[in-house]
Amino acid sequence: VQLQASGGGLVQAGDSLRLSCAASGRTAGRSLSMAWFRQAPGKERMFVSAVKGNGGSTSYADSVKGRFTATRDNAKNTVYLQMNSLKPEDTAVYYCAAGSRLITSNLSNRHAYDYWGQGTQVTVSS
């Protein structure tokens, strides 16, 4: 499975961005959970949000709840991350990830994901 992330950019605080992550390859018949993680310079890669493969339930980090919304288009094998009210602390490289072994309790565990995209830079200026 290959993941292609896009949509990052440079915005001002309070602005919005929408990230996309398209999955290709061996996706047919597989219920992949897809997630977003982010990594700021000098920091660990942190969970942002996920959309579970079975049922499509969503999960968010506390820091983005109420501002970010994750959705997926199963027909396009694509997950989106709508980011509103962006803050300078949202600045990071955003990575999409996918996996077939995810359950609700491990959606935020980056080690549970099998596939990773290349990352897209999001920079929020104050």
Q: Do 96 and 5 touch, CB atoms closer than 8 A?
A: yes
Report pLDDT digits (tens) over 27-74.
Answer: 877 889 999 999 999 999 999 999 998 788 999 999 999 999 999 998
Report pLDDT digits (tens) over 73-123.
Answer: 988 999 999 999 999 999 999 999 999 888 888 999 999 999 999 999 999
26, pLDDT greater than 90: no
Residue 42 has a pLDDT of: 95
Q: How many CA atoms lie within 13 A of 90 on its CB side?
A: 32
Residue 123 has a pLDDT of: 98
Residue 5 has a pLDDT of: 96
Residue 44 has a pLDDT of: 96
Report pLDDT digits (tens) over 13-25.
Answer: 999 999 999 999 9
Q: How many CA atoms lie within 13 A of 14 on its CB side?
A: 1
SS3 122: strand
Mean pLDDT of the chain: 94
